Amino acid sequence: MSAFLALLIGVALTLALIALAQRLIGFQAQKPGDYAALEPVMDIRKHLSGPIRCEGVIYGPNGRVSSRFTADMEGRWDGNRGVLAEKFSYDSGTKQDREWRLMIGNDGRIQADADDLVGQGSGAQSGNSVRLTYTIRLPESAGGHALQVTDWMYLVDDQTIVNRSQFRKFGVKVAELVATMRRVEA
């Protein structure tokens, strides 16, 4: 075996081990059941209802802050079906609107749809957390890429949610979002 081939095999094995480790012990290894017994219990029909204020940062692939944003959100529910309207303002001056259409089953499973998703998102609420996974298509001004998203929301108290999301392309993390969402008294 040539030294070059041995090097390639070594690199491939190292990358495979890193990917496996991330799936077993990293952010992506979390499961909704990990939070089943934790309180306060999150119910998106309650905690993503009414006016919500959001502040957050987006980290680029190098781990540095690439963007900051605020958002005004409004959640409306009719039984197990809801709409979460979001109005984002980024530090660049860019504005973005998104409307999530959500459905929650009696078992806590969530189906999610929005105009910029590729297909439908899915997830579950369990204990004090919610996990959603979906593929989002970035606007053309941001390259138009389709990114796989793992989105976790953790209920801190009755008024505050911490959101952490990772965005991946071909399995490689290209961005991460951390935000707080606080219900606003009408």
Any residues with CB less than 8 A from the CB of 38 and at least 6 apart, and which? 127, 128, 129
Nearest C-alpha neighbor of 110 from the set 100, 126, 99, 124: 124
pTM value is 0.84
Position 24 scores a pLDDT of 66
- Indicate the pLDDT class of residue 7, thresholds 50, 70 and 90: confident
Alpha-carbon Rg for the chain in angstroms: 18
The token pair at 126 is 């369990």
In the three-class reduction of DSSP (H, G, I as helix; E, B as strand; rest coil), residue 24 is classed as helix
Checking if the pLDDT of 3 tops 90, the result is no
Cα dihedral 97, 70, 174, 123 in deg (nearest 10): -70
Region 96-123: mean pLDDT is: 95
Identity of the amino acid at 170: F
- Determine the Cα–Cα distance for residues 125 and 147; give it in Å rounded to an integer: 22
- Indicate the pLDDT class of residue 33, thresholds 50, 70 and 90: confident
Q: Please say whether the beta carbons of 147 and 139 come within 8 A.
A: no
- Determine the Cα–Cα distance for residues 150 and 133; give it in Å rounded to an integer: 5
What percentage of residues in the chain have a pLDDT greater than 70?
A: 95
